[in-house]
Amino acid sequence: MQLTPAELLVSDVIGRLIEFWGFKRNMGRVWSVLYLSTDPLSADDLRDSLKISSGAVSMTLTELGRWGVVRKVWIQGERRDFFSAETQLWKMVSRVFNERERTEIVAAIDAFQEALQLLDKAKESERTKLQRERIKQLLDLARLGLKLIDALLATGRLDIEPLAKLRLGLGDR
């Protein structure tokens, strides 16, 4: 299957964006070809159209399946597996935010709280005072990030007022 110039352009752009976000470029390329396709495609179709190895296609489809952005589709009379892309973009984005970004922010909050507990046990000095204040600022920022992500995941909308307050130094303390 020959990709159109538009499909090639979009698959390249999505591949670069996905790579920027820490995923493999081929994940974006494979997903975008499936997303733009009118029909489910086989692994062979994807291999031929993107000019990547069978192994790369297989690994990429497995990873995309784990993220829930590609699914196997049964086609009557066919023995091969066919695949289609998740087309609800918000569903995909929210899953990534929930499983990646939110998880990292929660881990950061836990680490900052632990660091503050360690400082509480340390001998008081100018250094520990400075570190306590700065770690509290990091903790406040991480908690704000968690609130924003939770609000975004719950509503699909984002209120930037807390960011404006933070930027202006008006945070609730």
Compute φ and ψ for 42, nearest 5 degrees: -85, 165
Structure tokens at 114: 């632990």
Of the candidates 33, 153, 137, the one whose C-alpha atom is nearest the C-alpha of residue 99 is: 153
Q: How far is CA 16 from CA 9, 13, 53, 124, in A?
A: 11, 5, 19, 48
Tens of each residue's pLDDT in the chain, 173 residues = 899 999 999 999 999 999 998 899 999 999 999 999 999 999 999 999 999 999 999 999 999 999 899 999 999 998 999 999 999 888 888 888 888 889 999 999 999 999 999 999 999 999 999 999 999 999 999 999 898 888 888 877 656 666 566 555 555 54
Residues of the domain holding 150 = 89-167
Alpha-helical regions (H) of 122-159: 126-155
Residue that finishes a domain, picked among 52, 68, 85: 85
- Paired residues of 83 in beta bridges: 41, 72
- 172 lies in a domain? no
Residues 52 and 110 grouped into a single domain: no
State the CATH number of the domain containing residue 50. Answer: 1.10.10.10
Residue that finishes a domain, picked among 65, 85, 105: 85
Handedness of CA 61, 56, 101, 132 (dihedral sign): positive
Please report which helix (H) or strand (E) contains residue 42, including its range: strand 41-42
Count CA atoms closer than 13 A to 164's CA, side-chain side: 4
pTM over 0.75, yes/no: no
Q: Give the chain's domain count.
A: 2
Residues 46 and 100 grouped into a single domain: no
